[in-house]
Amino acid sequence: MRCAIALQLWTVRQAAGHDLARTLERVADLGFDGVELVASLMGSDRSGARIRAVLERLGMTPVGYHATLEALESELDRLIDVACELGCPNLVCAWLPEPRRADHAAYLDTARSLAEIGQRCLQAGLQLVYHHHDFEYARFQGRSALDWLCGLVDPALMKLELDTYWVLTGGVDPADELRRYGDRCRLLHVKDRLPDVMPDAAPAEPGLAHRNTEVGTGMLDLPAVLEAAASHVRWYIVEQDVCAGDPFDSASTGLDNLRGAAASHDRD
């Protein structure tokens, strides 16, 4: 079966912020099946209907719509409206501000909020999905923060978007996580990582995957990830925060390498 692959538009954020419609055309030309959109890159009119028309013309599927927890808590009605206008089934919590992840009590409070947001999404015909970073691998009472969040929020109210880069950065095997979370993980960020050769400075921007490299060129065991994901992941999403050259070239390389690995997996 052909692997459905989307691009997270954060990869090409400068171009998307300048001209989203033209950026979507370029992404379609690369051969992606879908895109993950970002609320902050939607433009001043934030018109889901306008972007949906572009995507339909290009034959691309809107896979997810990313927004921060702060935005979800303060602008949920608008974000739900835009996601519905886009025809996008998944509203994704993309980022937690530091106070909402400072300690165990903060995560408990965040879980309560996510459950409420998930219920509102469900009522609107959408699915809330949680995208993590490495800080969710901090441990409280013997469990990771990610485990706490997933344990406290009903799976019907919140699915999980695993990110292989941040799993690796958290010191965990992405294939093991895919098997452990199973059907809760429908969306997967396939992001490769350069190894830690030596200590370096923290990224200039919080949450930036500064050791990101093109899919298939780093330490990610791509065949193992595809094997573990095969039974339940519906969309494989290429994302690269930092690109040495043209981000569209990096996206194209990632797509080609992921498609090649998927084809090899199917033959095996």
* DSSP-assigned letters across all residues of 191-237: -EE---SS--PPPSSTT--TTEE-TTSSS--HHHHHHHHTTT--EEE
Q: What's the structural domain count of the chain?
A: 1
pTM: 0.96
Tell me the residue range of the domain where 11 lies.
5-267
CATH of the domain at 241: 3.20.20.150
User: What pLDDT tens digit does each residue of the chain (268 aa) get?
Assistant: 478 999 999 999 999 999 999 999 999 999 999 999 999 999 866 789 999 999 999 999 999 999 999 999 999 999 999 999 999 999 999 999 999 999 999 999 999 999 999 999 999 999 999 999 999 999 999 999 999 999 999 999 999 999 999 999 999 999 999 999 999 999 999 999 999 875 555 555 778 898 999 999 999 999 999 999 999 999 999 999 999 999 999 999 999 999 999 998 877 7
The residues, ordered by sequence, that sit 6+ positions from 167 with a Cβ below 8 Å of its Cβ are 137, 173, 174, 177
